[in-house]
Amino acid sequence: MTREECVERIMAQVKSVVESLFEEAKAWRDGHWLYDAEHSTRAGMMEAAQLVLQSLTDRHGTGHVGQWHEDQEGQRRKFKEYCTRPVDTLVGRVSIRRASYHGATATPCTVQPLDKELGLRHQFSEGLEEVTAFNVSQLTYQETTAVSEKTLGFCLSETAVQEIAERWGQDAMAKRAGQIPLEPPRSRMAVAVDAAKIRTAERRRKRKGSRKQHFTEHWTDAKLGAVYSFDRQGHGNSDKRYTGSIRGKEPFGQALWTQIVASGADRAPHVAWLGDGAEWVWSLKQEHLPHAVEILDFEHAREHLEAVANAVWGEKSSRTIDWVKSRKTRLLHGKVHHVIKELREHARRVGPPPKDASADHPKKIIASNVAYFEHNAARMQYHRYRKLGYPIGSGAVESGCRHVIAQRMKITASMSWSQRRAETMLQLRCLVRSGQWDQFWTLKRCVA
């Protein structure tokens, strides 16, 4: 079919759709006329768009390159047959006729060159998979299925949605290391690091004769990093770049370093590293940004003061409230050593904790917090940080733990994930919440 014949066929279809709409308009309901009109119009235009896409793919060809096909590795395969493949797209299903080549000694034995040209990997188009992956990063699998049916006009199974999410998450995990969009360098940058717990489940071997699958559930750390710029008052901007992983400190550190380089934080004249008192936070900083200023999140310091006050005077007592308030002020004015001296006095007065004391024993709480403040004193120079215009709170990453991780991965208290699906979902969430979804996938396609 020539190009002119294709255009004529499409225009005839559009004319038929429009004429049908004018006829249908007579039956549209009063009070809901526009509702009926927009849905009927959309259905008609989708039908026309499907025809356009089918014509375009037909015109593109079958991928036939002659009797023999040679790939980039030099493997030769012989033409075998033409095969038709149905593909679901954003505008409906199209059928694609492809030339198939086979070679008994090649790997893989059979290829269809057209698949690579069109970006076909499965029964769904790349555009449909992207929309589905974006939706599933916001919604549960079941909700994504319902949204697809309502907005795209056809139903994807939950299994298909899961598979698409895993493919795109694995793609993001593999490609993000070298293809994060580069940011213009800024002079004042911060890196904040934290972790949130998610429930993971591992499949156990079935008992003999049992049909039921058994799982072992446990809580796993999902580490998260936020990289952002801040102004001279220490206020962070709204464009935060998130990186996360549940695979452990080393993989997370590598991914975070890639984001640091892409954001220019490694070259910023003023760079701060914020976190709580966890040792892995500071060892990671020493490994990747040793010159960054270490800042212990002020809210964590306050919580530890509150824990000591509760152990000495009891929760919510007026003495506890007044003591915490005054010691916070001392910390903000650079008197951390005065606070440590007072904590030591409390520890001497109550005495050392018993050897078998539990973590919530008052004496244990006081003793552990003396060690906490002693160990982190150099990271509590809040008067100096404020004078330099540095942030003193890691709220950027703590809120990230809520809206990047918990909002999707802890929707219900009983929600659990396989390690693989948790990691791939976290990659999609980081892209979405970093505002880099479209930019990243466009860049990935250009590089590919």
pLDDT at 389: 95
pLDDT at 299: 95
Asked if 417 and 199 count as a contact pair (C-beta separation under 8 A), the reply is: yes
Tokens of 78: 């012989």
Q: Report the chain's C-alpha Rg in angstroms.
A: 30
pLDDT at 3: 86
pLDDT at 180: 75
CA distance 127 to 133: 10
Comparing CA positions, the residue from 426, 423, 396 lying closest to residue 408 is: 426
For 60, other C-beta atoms within 10 Å of its C-beta total 12
**One pLDDT digit (tens) per residue for the chain, 448 residues:** 788 888 998 999 899 999 999 999 999 999 999 999 999 999 999 999 999 999 999 999 999 999 999 999 999 999 999 999 999 999 999 999 999 999 999 999 999 999 999 989 889 999 999 999 999 999 999 999 999 999 888 789 999 999 999 999 999 988 876 677 788 889 999 999 999 999 998 876 666 666 666 668 889 999 999 999 999 999 998 889 999 999 999 999 999 999 999 999 999 999 999 999 899 999 999 999 999 999 999 999 999 999 999 999 998 899 999 999 999 999 999 999 999 999 999 999 999 999 888 999 999 999 999 999 999 999 999 999 999 999 999 989 999 999 999 999 998 888 899 999 999 999 999 999 999 898 888 876 665 5
> Residue 85: exposed, middle, or buried by beta-carbon count in 10 A (0-12, 13-18, 19+)?
middle
pTM of the model: 0.89
pLDDT at 214: 65
pLDDT at 216: 81
pLDDT at 109: 94
- Report which residue type is found at 72: Q
Asked if 155 and 428 count as a contact pair (C-beta separation under 8 A), the reply is: no
Place of tokens 């555009």: 127
